Amino acid sequence: MKTISIIAGVIALTGVAIYALPGLTADTKPEPLRMAPPAPRSLPSVPGSMPQVQLTFAPVVKRVAPAVVNVYSKSVVQQQVNPFFNDPLIGQLFGTPEMRQRVQQSLGSGVIVRADGLIVTNNHVVEGGNEITVSLADKREFRAKVLMADARTDLAVLKIDTKGERLPVVPFADSDAVQVGDLVLAIGDPFNVGQTVTMGIVSALARTQISASDYQFFIQTDAAINPGNSGGALVTTAGTLAGINTAIYSRSGGNIGIGFAIPANLVRRVVEGVEGGLKNGGTANVQLAWVGANGEQVNSEKAAALGLPKPGGVLIKDVYPGGPLGKAGVKSGDVVQTVDGAAVDDMQSLNYRTATHRPGDNVRMHIASGKTGRDVTVTLALPPENPPKEATTIAGRNPLVGARVENLSPAAATELQMDVMEHGVAIVAVAPGGLAANYGFQPGDIVRSINGASINRTGELVRALNGVNQWNMVIERGGRKLTLSVEG
Q: Is the pLDDT of residue 384 over 50?
A: yes
pLDDT of residue 107: 85
Residue at 211 is within a domain: yes
User: Using the 8-state DSSP alphabet, how is residue 172 labeled?
Assistant: B
User: Using the 8-state DSSP alphabet, how is residue 83 labeled?
Assistant: G
- Residue 264 and residue 218 in one domain: yes
Residue at 135 is within a domain: yes
Confidence class for position 254, pLDDT limits 50, 70, 90: confident
The per-residue DSSP string of 24-44 comes to --TTS------PPPPPPPPPP
Which amino acid, residue 483?
Answer: T
Confidence class for position 13, pLDDT limits 50, 70, 90: very low
- Looking at the DSSP bridge assignments, the partners of residue 314 are 297, 336
Active site annotation includes 124: yes
The one catalytic residue among 150, 154, 189, 334: 154
- Residue 92 and residue 139 in one domain: yes
pLDDT of residue 102: 54
Task: Answer with the residue of higher pLDDT: 31 or 369.
Answer: 369
Q: Is the pLDDT of residue 239 over 90?
A: yes
List the CATH number of the domain containing 151: 2.40.10.10
Q: Are strands 183-188 and 196-207 parallel, antiparallel or unpaired?
A: antiparallel
Confidence class for position 248, pLDDT limits 50, 70, 90: confident
- Residue 202 and residue 254 in one domain: yes
Of 91, 126, 160, the residue that ends a domain is 160
pLDDT of residue 44: 54
SS3 content of the chain, % helix, strand, coil (to 5): 20, 35, 45
Residue at 12 is within a domain: no
Q: Is the pLDDT of residue 315 over 90?
A: yes
pTM for the model: 0.77
Domain count, the chain: 4
The one catalytic residue among 230, 250, 409, 449: 230
Over the stretch 43-88, which tens digit does the pLDDT of each residue have? 556 666 767 656 788 889 999 999 999 999 876 555 555 555 555 5
Listed range (109-123, 183-197, 282-296) with the worst mean pLDDT = 282-296
Residue at 438 is within a domain: yes
Of 379, 412, 435, the residue that ends a domain is 379
Q: Is the pLDDT of residue 15 over 70?
A: no
Q: Rounded distance, CA 486 to CA 390, Å?
A: 26
- Give the CA radius of gyration of the chain: 28
Residues in Cβ contact with 51 at an 8 Å cutoff, skipping those fewer than 6 apart: none
Q: Rounded distance, CA 203 to CA 259, Å?
A: 9
pLDDT of residue 2: 61
Residue at 38 is within a domain: no
Q: Are 481 and 475 spatial neighbours (Cβ–Cβ below 8 Å)? A: yes
- Residue 398 and residue 362 in one domain: no
- Residue 190 and residue 247 in one domain: yes
Residues in Cβ contact with 117 at an 8 Å cutoff, skipping those fewer than 6 apart: 142, 159, 160, 161, 162, 167
Over the stretch 401-433, which tens digit does the pLDDT of each residue have? 999 999 999 999 888 888 888 999 999 999 988
Residue at 86 is within a domain: yes
Confidence class for position 487, pLDDT limits 50, 70, 90: confident
Mean pLDDT of 128-141: 90
Q: Is the pLDDT of residue 476 over 60?
A: yes
Task: Answer with the residue of higher pLDDT: 314 or 85.
Answer: 314
pLDDT of residue 177: 92
- Residue 343 and residue 428 in one domain: no
Q: What is the share, in percent, of the chain residues with pLDDT greater than 90?
A: 57
- Residue 426 and residue 479 in one domain: yes
Q: Is the pLDDT of residue 393 over 90?
A: yes
- Residue 226 and residue 302 in one domain: no
- Residue 103 and residue 188 in one domain: no
| Strand positions, DSSP E, 95-154 | 99-114, 118-121, 131-135, 141-150
Residue at 200 is within a domain: yes
- Residue 420 and residue 396 in one domain: yes
pLDDT of residue 22: 36
- SS3 state of residue 118: strand
- Residue 156 and residue 184 in one domain: no
Half-sphere exposure of 248 (CA within 13 A, CB side): 23
End-to-end CA, the chain:
43
State which residues form the domain around 353: 293-379
Of 204, 237, 269, the residue that ends a domain is 269
List the CATH number of the domain containing 401: 2.30.42.10
Residues in Cβ contact with 24 at an 8 Å cutoff, skipping those fewer than 6 apart: 30, 31
Over the stretch 425-459, which tens digit does the pLDDT of each residue have? 999 999 988 899 999 999 999 999 999 999 999 99
pLDDT of residue 262: 93
Q: Are strands 183-188 and 233-236 parallel, antiparallel or unpaired?
A: antiparallel
SS3 track for 239-282? CCEEEEEEEEECCCCCCCCCEEEEEHHHHHHHHHHHHHHHHCCC
The one catalytic residue among 73, 124, 150, 334: 124
Residue at 244 is within a domain: yes
- Residue 371 and residue 426 in one domain: no
Mean of the per-residue pLDDT values for the chain?
83
